[in-house]
Chains A and B, each alone.
Chain A
Amino acid sequence: MTVKWLMHWQPKPGTTLSTQILTEACQCVESIGGQKDGRWRSVLTFYKPMQRDALVPVDHPRDFLGLALQEQPAKYYFILRPNRIVLEADASIQVIMEKLQSYKARVTLNFEGFQYKLGDFQLRVGKCVPSASEALRGIMMEVEYIPLSSIDKSRQVLEEFFDIWQETISKKSLPGHFMHIESNFADYGLQDRYTSHHTAVQYATCMAQLIAAVRC
């Protein structure tokens, strides 16, 4: 598993998101030498507990996220942020959940866009769109440095790449900037060696920011 950083677009307060920003970001990637490699798609679902009896107080966790990643088609990831739990399950768990009817999908967000190869780096740039509507909710980027799988050893490399990326994109004078939030992997019991669990945690961390930036 290679190390990945998630970055989301933080628009300037008062400005709105537009697909223009996404196009500009894709152009930036191509300007630094990225080769388009295909499409990518991840699906994030917010679950809310189903209450059979409205009177009985519910003690199910509120902030319950489910994540389907393109690179792990056979798996499904659950993240409980308040409890700092991340769990990997088989993809068929979604069917089971539907049958059990204990949780209902409240909002489903689709992350989709293009994948680029830039030497030993792999970049993904995409938009965040709820499945119910066509409104643009956010713009996300994934940067992966393939030769390394230790988070610690790759930190400097990814930091510098982030700096280079910021420099490139700031030339376009777009209203806003990309941000990377450090996730505390140790809290979730994860090791230094990067795995899809780490990706799931990063998505969860991003969600809080993304929702705050754009009213859901």
Chain B
Amino acid sequence: MMIPAAGPVAASSQQNTQDPADTTAEAPPKQVATAMERLSRAARLIADVRIGADRLLEALFLAAESPYQSNKSIQLVLKEESAMRKHFQDLRSLGKQLEDSGVLNGSVKLRGNSWGLHMPLVCPDGAVVAYAWKRQLAGQAGASAVDRTRLALKAFTDQKRRFFPHLEDEAFTQCSEGELGVAKKPCFSHGLLPGHKDELREERTLPDIINSLQCIAPDIKIYTYQRLDWLKRASSLSSLPSDHLVDSSNEYGLQSSSNSTSVLGNAASISEDQVAVIELLSPSVFRAVVSLHPTGSMSPDAVAFFSTDEGGSYVHARGRSVFHVFWHVTEYADKALQYFQSTNVDTSLSLILRWICSYQTLFTKVCSKCERLLMMDESLALILPPVHRAYQNTSASNSHPNQLTASDRGHGSDFIFAYHIGCSNNDL
């Protein structure tokens, strides 16, 4: 339970603590104030209990260390014991009062004299709020200090990543994962993420990377763009009439050639040092946009996923898909990108592109943990397919043929495990 460091004490004098019948006659704001004050007293008592327990332990420790001072420790123990007993009694009576006034249960609501206000709530995460509806007003399901801090940290790391990508280092990424408390520990991956760094070192240029990707994931189309060209293309995507597209792959082929992009290693139209955006298109499944910074380099700085039907100026590497499934994949992709950048900057582009290709099975591959495709995520109240793909690699990873399903073999080297959001928390 969350204990405030110094419980706020009501300015009013001590209430009459022995008369729960009082509460029914008082107006709600006074009930609320009384209840808040009682809760803070309860918090103080609990703190006292904790201190008492510490003292008891200290006394026992003392007794263990110096047996000839046992008398002194006995006295300490006895003193603490009576103090603790008193604390517990106080706590018990306070708890009873709180219960009677309906704070710890819903009895006020049942009695129907709440005058439209709800009694102070002790929420499941331990936060205490005066009015339940305040949490809804805060706009979050859990608007406690813990959640606000978590959100602030996330906003800070997002902005830091965006404006100061060169300040990223391993210590920070590990630290932020722990603090955010949402550290996902993905399982080992094979195939698309090569176990041998040598394989990746051979891919020195962008065309090399694209060529090797074509071999690994032949169903995925890869296009490169200059930054402005991508914005034009993104806006034009929305103007494609959806009902009249008969053969979508043809459309994209036409579009790309008119935008002077390089397709499949044909780097004649734009030179390597002008490439700022890489598009990976898995027809009818997803479109991923990767941004390179600085232009012409091989360091990715952002990635985002979208539906193939989405179009408009928001479709870029820092954009947000309107669909929940792609938005969650994008969020997870941010973490993967951070991980790749922190472990080996030189190969991060190759790694992230290969990892993106593993999502071609987003709507067909079942979760490696629960073996289902769709899962209702209780905290998000959404039904989602497995949106997480493992990205951590171990140097000793080998592919285990007996773990592959038939669909895995069909996709070539797509051995990466997929997880639902809820499932990936508990593996390893």
List chain A positions with a Cβ less than 8 A from chain B: 1-2, 32-33, 118-121, 146-150, 152-154, 156-157, 160-161, 164, 191-193, 195-196
Q: Would A153 and B373 be within 8 Å (CB), given that A119-B381, A161-B383 are in contact?
A: no
Cross-chain contact A33 with B284 (CB below 8 angstroms): no
Q: Return the contact of A120 from the options B245, B309, B324, B364 (Cβ within 8 A).
A: B324
Contacts between the two chains (Cβ within 8 Å), count: 71
Cross-chain contact A164 with B376 (CB below 8 angstroms): yes
Q: Which residues of B contact A195 (CB under 8 A)?
A: 243
Cross-chain contact B363 with A156 (CB below 8 angstroms): yes
Q: Which residues of B contact A120 (CB under 8 A)?
A: 323-325, 382-384
7 nearest A-B residue pairs (beta carbon): A150-B284, A119-B382, A147-B323, A33-B381, A160-B374, A147-B307, A160-B373
Q: Give the complex CA separation of A146 and B384 in angstroms.
A: 12
Q: Closest B-chain residue to A153, C-beta based?
A: B284
Give, as a whole number of angstroms, the nearest-CB distance from B261 to chain A.
24
B355-407 at interface with A (beta carbon < 8 Å): 363-364, 372-374, 376, 380-385
Q: Closest A-chain residue to B244, C-beta based?
A: A195
Q: Return the contact of B242 from the options A32, A148, A149, A157 (Cβ within 8 A).
A: A149
Q: Return the contact of B284 from the options A1, A149, A156, A161 (Cβ within 8 A).
A: A149
Q: Closest A-chain residue to B376, C-beta based?
A: A32
Q: Which residues of B contact A121 (CB under 8 A)?
A: 383
Q: With A1-B242, A32-B376, A148-B363 given, name 19 new contacts (CB 8 A).
A: A1-B243, A33-B381, A33-B383, A118-B382, A119-B380, A119-B381, A119-B383, A120-B384, A146-B323, A147-B323, A149-B242, A152-B284, A153-B284, A154-B363, A157-B385, A161-B374, A161-B383, A193-B242, A196-B243
Give, as a whole number of angstroms, the nearest-CB distance from A103 to chain B.
26
Interface check B285, CB cutoff 8 A: yes
Give, as a whole number of angstroms, the nearest-CB distance from A3 to chain B.
10
Q: Which residues of B contact A154 (CB under 8 A)?
A: 363
Write the B308-335 contact mask toward A (1 if CB under 8 angstroms, else 0): 1100000000000001111000000000
Q: Give the complex CA separation of A192 and B284 in angstroms.
A: 10
Q: Would A160 and B284 be within 8 Å (CB), given that A147-B325, A154-B363 are in contact?
A: no
Q: Give the complex CA separation of A154 and B382 in angstroms.
A: 17
Give, as a whole number of angstroms, the nearest-CB distance from B393 to chain A.
28
Q: Would A164 and B363 be within 8 Å (CB), given that A149-B309, A156-B373, A157-B373 are in contact?
A: no
Q: Which residues of A contact B285 (CB under 8 A)?
A: 148, 150, 153
Interface check B248, CB cutoff 8 A: yes
Give, as a whole number of angstroms, the nearest-CB distance from B282 to chain A.
9
Give, as a whole number of angstroms, the nearest-CB distance from A95 to chain B.
24
Q: Give the complex CA separation of A147 and B385 in angstroms.
A: 12
B46-88 at interface with A (beta carbon < 8 Å): none
Q: Would A164 and B284 be within 8 Å (CB), given that A33-B376, A193-B246, A193-B248 are in contact?
A: no
Cross-chain contact A148 with B284 (CB below 8 angstroms): yes
Pairs A–B under 8 Å by Cβ, sample size 15 = A33-B381, A33-B382, A33-B383, A119-B382, A119-B384, A120-B382, A147-B307, A147-B323, A149-B242, A149-B284, A149-B308, A153-B364, A160-B372, A164-B374, A193-B245
B244-276 at interface with A (beta carbon < 8 Å): 245-246, 248
Q: Which residues of B contact A33 (CB under 8 A)?
A: 376, 381-383
Q: Which residues of B contact A147 (CB under 8 A)?
A: 307, 309, 323, 325-326
Q: Closest B-chain residue to A192, C-beta based?
A: B284
Q: Return the contact of B246 from the options A2, A157, A191 (Cβ within 8 A).
A: A191
Give, as a whole number of angstroms, the nearest-CB distance from A86 to chain B.
13
Q: Which residues of A contact B385 (CB under 8 A)?
A: 157
Give, as a whole number of angstroms, the nearest-CB distance from B355 to chain A.
20
Q: Which residues of B contact A2 (CB under 8 A)?
A: 309
